[in-house]
Chains A and B, each alone.
Chain A
Amino acid sequence: MQVNLRIRRFNPEKDTKAWWGEYTLSDVHPTDTVLDLLNRVKWEIDGTLSLRRSCAHGVCGSDAMRINEVNALACKTLVQRLEKKGDTMTIQIEPILGLRVIKDLIVDMEPFMEHYRAVMPYFINDSPPPADGRERLQSQEDRARFDDTTKCILCACCTTSCPSFWANGKYIGPASIVQAHRFIFDSRDEGAAERLKVVGDTFGVWRCRTIFNCTNACPRDIEVTKAIAEVKGVLATGEI
């Protein structure tokens, strides 16, 4: 199969504005991933193409990008899952939105990480450990409450698909709320009040308009909007 790739290119040292690079690849297999195609462009056609990638198996979260106007991981997106018109297929690839483009498909993740750090994404418990010196035990029911939000790989697909985040980058975004949820709902954690101060702020959960883009974009199938609603529920009732 032949595939035409339209890739949003920008080199800050040469370009004043972004442009579309067009590349044609033949012998593309339906089971190739979009990352495979990008690697072919970089290795065989134009070595200046810049993108982040690492594990290539949907675990590291490096290669989040906008593929045919939808946020996804390039390494998890199979060519056969994309829409085909006639014999050839055109795939449009852009950097994720809402973050400054450094070069081509690479964006500045620092604002995203700043929001992530703000929710204190680590275990807080100052009480002494159990007398037997072993781990703090937790029931299966308690563990299940935050199971979904442990799956986040910080790829930023959710946050950069959110129109509220596009409109105002001060909004901490779905990914940070997912991280806050993971610890707020952990029965062993004692930092919920501090985290709720952050997510209950003007630029916290209240900026969520339940658009569901985040849930659709998540490559880990986390029910992001549901997690945000649960955090809103805790803020409304004061009960976890």
Chain B
Amino acid sequence: MATANVTGMTHRKVQVQSNFQRWAFLFMRVSGLALLILAVGHMMIQHVLNSSSNLSIQFVAAQWNSWGWKVFDMLLLAFALTHGMNGFRNVLEDYIHNPQTVKIVNTVLAIFTIITVLWAGYAIARFNSTPFMGN
């Protein structure tokens, strides 16, 4: 009796409904990858290539004299805070069962995150290195 020969792996496309949880999951992956470069880079610069015991305002001022490093640190700030806060939101959602309370907590976390990123980002952007240079 002849038998049909079916081989190979089938790949299918499927319609996936997007929701906030899916975007939050994808954001954690992307920000996690970004932090691998940004946070590890930051650790390397501050604590491996330079000794943290010699870390001074002059060192920071020299770094922030360049817009490249300012942008690096602003990205680190934005990704670290949003990644951390999203994780915190996940943990809280496990234990807060009232949907209304979840909404309030998420709003408070979002406002705190946005204000902190903007405020700290503004501080980095406006940092004037000149008074600390050449001492």
Which A residues have a C-beta under 8 Å from some C-beta of B? 137-142, 145, 164, 167-168, 170, 187, 192-193, 196-197, 200-202, 204, 206-207, 209, 232, 234-236, 238-240
Contact = CB atoms under 8 A, between A and B. Distances in A.
A232 B24 CA distance: 12
A188 B17 CA distance: 22
Nearest to A168: B94
Q: Name the residue among B7, B8, B19, B29 with the largest chain A CB count within 10 angstroms.
A: B19
B121 to A, nearest CB: 29
B34 to A, nearest CB: 17
Contact of A240 (B7, B14, B90): B14
Contacts of B21: 200-202, 204, 206
Interface string B94-135: 110100000000000000000000000000000000000000
Contacts of A235: 16, 22, 25
A96 B94 CA distance: 20
Interface residues of B, number: 24
Nearest to A202: B21
A72 B95 CA distance: 26
B4 interface: yes
A236 B94 contact: no
B15 A200 contact: no
Interface in B1-38: 4, 6-17, 19, 21-22, 24-26, 29
B9 A145 contact: yes
Given A141-B8, A200-B17, A236-B25, 20 more contacts: A137-B4, A141-B7, A141-B9, A142-B6, A167-B94, A168-B94, A170-B97, A187-B10, A192-B12, A193-B14, A193-B15, A200-B19, A201-B21, A209-B90, A232-B25, A234-B14, A238-B13, A238-B14, A238-B15, A240-B12
A186 to B, nearest CB: 10
B94 A206 contact: no
Given A139-B7, A200-B17, A187 B12 contact: yes
A206 B16 contact: no
Contacts of A240: 11-14
A206 B24 CA distance: 9
A209 to B, nearest CB: 7
A13 B126 CA distance: 71
A1 to B, nearest CB: 42
24 contacts: A137-B4, A137-B6, A139-B6, A141-B7, A141-B8, A141-B9, A142-B9, A167-B95, A168-B94, A187-B12, A193-B14, A196-B14, A200-B21, A200-B22, A201-B21, A202-B19, A204-B21, A206-B21, A207-B94, A234-B16, A236-B22, A236-B25, A239-B11, A239-B12
Nearest to A164: B94
A89 B109 CA distance: 50
A114 B25 CA distance: 26
B16 A139 contact: no
Nearest to B9: A141
B8 A139 contact: yes
Contacts of A207: 94
